[in-house]
Structure 1
Amino acid sequence: MKLAILDRDGTLNPLGDEYITSPEEWTPVPGALEAIARLNHAGWHVVVATNQPGLGRGLFDVVALNAIHAKMHRQLAAMGGRIDAVFYCPHAADEECSCRKPAPGLLEQICDRYGAERSEVQVVGSCAAHLQAGSALGAQLHLVCTGRSADVDAVATALPAGVPPGTRMHASLGDFASHLLPAAPGSRPPVPA
């Protein structure tokens, strides 16, 4: 099974100063929804795994979180794409759970649900915790230089602190999709300048 597990905040939507607590506050990172649609059209399943400690802190409720994700799904459907499911951890950092990234619990649940071979899963995010969870899973890791990694140069040779060795870097989710997908028949690779 072709499965990509994406982080939400910083990968699909820009990071804000505070938690996203309503659908009105959710906007996509430019090009992110188009990248997911491209992956879907090439036969990839896309699932989101996200820490949402604002739930446990009472900053928003499950109804609000579902409304935020419903907006995300609608905007993606308008692009011809889909996210198969959203898995979230509602726990705060000081709560002991196996699902809050960097623990791999959410990603393990996703692999179990989809029957995916863990070593073939693509784990994509803009923060070290998401990629650390993917590393614990044994997945293939991809850092997108958006969100928490917006200041990282995707062609740099050194990975940011905390990012597991072997992680590939991409300027954006669109660049990750281009890396993963074969070129369209008849298309030519870009000519170096």
Structure 2
Amino acid sequence: MQKVIVLDRDGVINEDSDAFIKSPDEWQPVPGSIEAIVKLKQAGWLVAVATNQSGIRRGYYDRATLSAMHQKLQGLLAEQGAKVDWINFSPYVGDDATPCRKPSTGMLQAIENRFGISLQGMPMIGDTWADMQVAKAKGMRPFLVRSGKGERTLAKHGDELAGIPVYDNLLAAVEALLA
């Protein structure tokens, strides 16, 4: 059976900012995150990204700029012979009540459709409560990282996170998953 992992982007793969990541220059990988994705690919995993990108709807950047950020990610991975297999994003804000913005499951459904498999039981790594909620809603195995908004998520939802493994960053989570 094909193994698929879903990763959040901001705070997991790249550094996050409360002021949003608005350009490829601002897009900087979390230390170890590129290595983590390379390890996943070497272990035979399909790697998908599901990322809320409300900065588009808010007018902070456009789809072309988002694409340039993702090209930067793919370029860094290509240097090591790896890639993200698919990136899915939601350009909406919470008030839009859209099924594709996490914690709604639309992006995960799209990943299932794209690869023709169920995400049931597959891992999802994120740094926010919405990431944990959507993973649980899809029957996935959520992993929380402390990078990005992870520490805030722990402080606010600690009791609700019982049973969810917590790691310092994507690399630590991936190493544990692959061990």
Give the C-alpha shift of residue 151 in structure 1. 6.5
Number of the residue aligned with 1:84: 85
User: What TM-score comes out, normalization by structure 1 length?
Assistant: 0.85
SS at match of 2:72: helix
Mapped partners of 1:63, 1:162: distance in 2: 40
Number of the residue aligned with 1:118: 119
Percent identity at matched positions? 37
Identify unmatched segments of 5+ residues in structure 2.
none
Mapped partners of 1:162, 1:78: distance in 2: 41
Number of the residue aligned with 2:24: 23
Between Structure 1 and Structure 2, how many residues are aligned? Answer: 178
Mapped partners of 1:165, 1:111: distance in 2: 27
Give the C-alpha shift of residue 141 in structure 1. 0.9
- Aligned-pair Cα RMSD in Å: 2.0
Give the C-alpha shift of residue 66 in structure 1. 0.4
SS at match of 2:87: strand
Give the C-alpha shift of residue 164 in structure 1. 4.7
Number of the residue aligned with 2:5: 4
Seen in structure 2, the aligned counterparts of structure 1 residues 55 and 162 have a Cα distance that, compared at 3 Å, is farther
Would the aligned equivalents of 1:89 and 1:106 in 2 still touch at CA under 8 Å? yes
When structure 1 is superposed on structure 2, of 143-152 and 37-46 the one drifting more is 143-152
Number of the residue aligned with 2:37: 36
Runs of 4+ in structure 1 over 6 Å off: none
Larger Rg: 1
Mapped partners of 1:43, 1:113: distance in 2: 17
Number of the residue aligned with 1:59: 60
Mapped partners of 1:132, 1:166: distance in 2: 13
User: What TM-score comes out, normalization by structure 2 length?
Assistant: 0.91
Mapped partners of 1:125, 1:149: distance in 2: 8
